[in-house]
Structure 1
Amino acid sequence: MAIIGVAIVLFLIGIFGWLFLSGSRYMKHLKEEIRIAVLLQNNARQADIDSMVAQLKSRPFTRNVAYIDKETAKKQWMNDGGDDFNKLIDENPLPASIEFNVSSEYVNKDSLINLKNELAKNLLLVQSVEYPAALVEKMGPAMKLILIGLIILSSLFAILSIILIDNTIRLAMYSNRFLIKTMQMVGATRSFISKPMNVQAVINGTIAALIAIGAIIGLIYLFEWLVPDLRLLRDNGKLTLLFIILILTGIGISVMSTFRSITKYLRMKLDDLY
């Protein structure tokens, strides 16, 4: 029963951890979807354009740098449901542009303003630098608040879970109180008494963690089967780290709770055990 109780608590910790990891990855994905467009002058030279594209690609924080010529811009406009302006004017009014995304760490008000000002200095090449500034300004504080909330909830849940696991183990050890006291009375040392129980605690903690991990993996695959887009949020590296933490938590708390119980019963008088 102790193994099942610990497994249930570890399962709940793991699910909360998975939700935290998925939420963090989703927020990162939203930030990296922000597209920045450098609108180019109509008389911009191709050599200067190629130079800026190469420069942007060399930056460690840029992603998906692409040059959009005037004809491609027109096709995108039409595909997005825009009116065919050739019916009104002969010339294509849409400028060529260089578009790119940036890494999530760079998607904040100050960083993007600095980048915009840097790119806009090249007046012979750049008309303007456009990105959804209002969205970026709102996104930062909102995501920070959500992340802080998740961290606080995760911490509180982890503390409560540790207390529950500790109580579960100590309750299971209660049935061994007379065995512990009897071994002490016949002259067994503390290490001799605790060693087999600590070994069993390690085994039980490992089994409980593996049961919890198996259930978590099954639930993750179920949700990903129901909502295929969730697969994009999976980070196998961080999930593996989460599972290792669950195993260490299961073992650590089981051993500590067992040690505390053994120490408690060794210090108690025989009459107090009844």
Structure 2
Amino acid sequence: MAQLGKASSKKGKPSYVGAIVGVAVVLFLFGIVGWFFLNLRKTGDYFKESIQVHTYLSAQAGKKQIDSLTQYITALPYANRVEYVNKEKAMQKWNTEYDSSWKQILDNNPLPESIDFYVKADHVEKDSLNMLATNLQMTFPGTIASFQFPTETVAKVSKAVKLGAGFFLVAAIILTIIVVFSIDNTIRLAMYSNRFLIKTMQMVGATRGFIAKPINQRAVVNGLIASAIAILLVWLTVILVENLVPDFKLLHDNAGLMVLFLIIIILGVTITLLSTHRAVIKYLRMKLDDLY
């Protein structure tokens, strides 16, 4: 029986190599699409978090009120880069972004003081920002003159991100189905070359569990090897693209990549194991004449 097991290992190597390569290629394609999905999400978050919110202060607001409002906004878990902009800073920003020709017409600085900040992507929605404005104005009555953010930009960015995410979600589901069937077919072709060996082991008295166990264990190893190859190829592709297009480095998401790599490993091992086990059981149930 041990000799049969050794023979199985030797005869199975060529087909296993082909199966590993085939599975690795399919998982690599899945990983690339997954990486593009991560980039889309990060791109949407990047644009959302680059939208600045302006809390313009009332001319009657005192320093204590302004400090309290600044501290309150800074403490919000979804507020980023909070900055108090006094009249001098407001004038400098205006002159930098536009021009200083207004000085020829006006003697006094007409620009109001403000507290400017950015909001984390999850809260960049028109309704969320309107609720924030209402909350701030109720909490600090008389301190805030107006609360402004680019409404149309927020709506357009949110809509574009949702459409893109929906498209890639559908594509990911379709691709996952294709991956499952592709890996299953690859494994079945690999196991086809071992069908007589499996049947021979059964005919000399080996139990189903005895036959399936080493093959299943090898399937797990093959799945891990294929996943490792796919992950390495995806990682090298990411590095190459980021070096060729530096802007992609702004979208780099290590946490997202780790999740993607974990999914690749789970897919590679699970589908390889299930497909292998199913093929073994199939050949064990078949009659010898049906194997030809």
Q: TM-score scaled to structure 2, two decimals?
A: 0.90
Question: Which segments of 5 or more consecutive residues in structure 1 lack a partner in the other structure?
Answer: none
CA drift of 1:159 comes to 0.7
Structure 2 match to 1:86: 103
Q: Look up the equivalent residue of 1:108 and give its one-letter code.
A: E
Alignment of 1:51-62 (within 5 A): 51-62=68-79
Q: Which residue is 1:164 aligned to?
A: 182
1:102 and 1:109 map into 2 onto residues whose CA distance is: 12
> CA deviation digits over 1:85-111, x for unaligned, max 9?
212221011111110111212111111
The residue aligned with 2:261 is: 243
| Runs of at least 5 residues in structure 2 that lack an aligned partner in the other structure | 1-17
Query: Matches of residues 255-274 of structure 1 in structure 2 within 5 Å?
Result: 255-274=273-292
Task: Please tell me the root mean square deviation across aligned C-alpha atoms, in Å.
Answer: 1.4
- Mapped to 1, the partners of 2:210 and 2:290 lie a distance apart of 23
1:153 paired residue number: 171
- How far the C-alpha of 1:172 sits from its partner, in A, is 0.7
Q: How many Å apart are 1:119 and its aligned residue?
A: 3.0
How far apart in 1 are the matches of 2:74 and 2:189?
A: 61
Question: Which amino acid in structure 2 is aligned with residue 39 of structure 1?
Answer: Y
Alpha-carbon distance, 1:165 to partner: 0.4
Tell me the residue number matched to 1:70: 87
Count of residue pairs the alignment pairs up? 274
- Give the aligned partner of residue 239 of structure 2: 221
* C-alpha distance in 1 between matches for 2:152 and 2:136: 19
Matched, 1:195 2:213: yes
Q: What residue number does 2:44 align with?
A: 27
Aligned counterpart in structure 2 of residue 44 of structure 1, from 61, 65, 68: 61
Deviation at 1:74, TM superposition (A): 0.7
CA distance in 2, matches of 1:187, 1:160: 38
Partner Cα distance (1:234, 1:156) in 2: 25
2:7 aligns with none
Separation of aligned partners in 1, 2:88 and 2:101? 13
Shift of 1:137: 2.2
Tell me which amino acid in the other structure corresponds to 1:197. Answer: I
- Please report the TM-score for the alignment, with normalisation by the length of structure 1: 0.96
Match of 2:146 in 1: 128
Return the offset for 1:123.
5.4
Percent of residue pairs bearing the same amino acid type: 46
- Determine the structure 2 residue equivalent to 1:111: 128
TM-superposed deviation, 1:124: 2.8
SS in 2 for 1:16: helix
Q: Name 2:11's counterpart in structure 1.
A: none
AA in 2 matched with 1:154: A
Displacement of 1:57 in angstroms is: 0.9
| Rounded Cα–Cα distance in structure 1 between residues aligned with 2:200 and 2:141 | 89
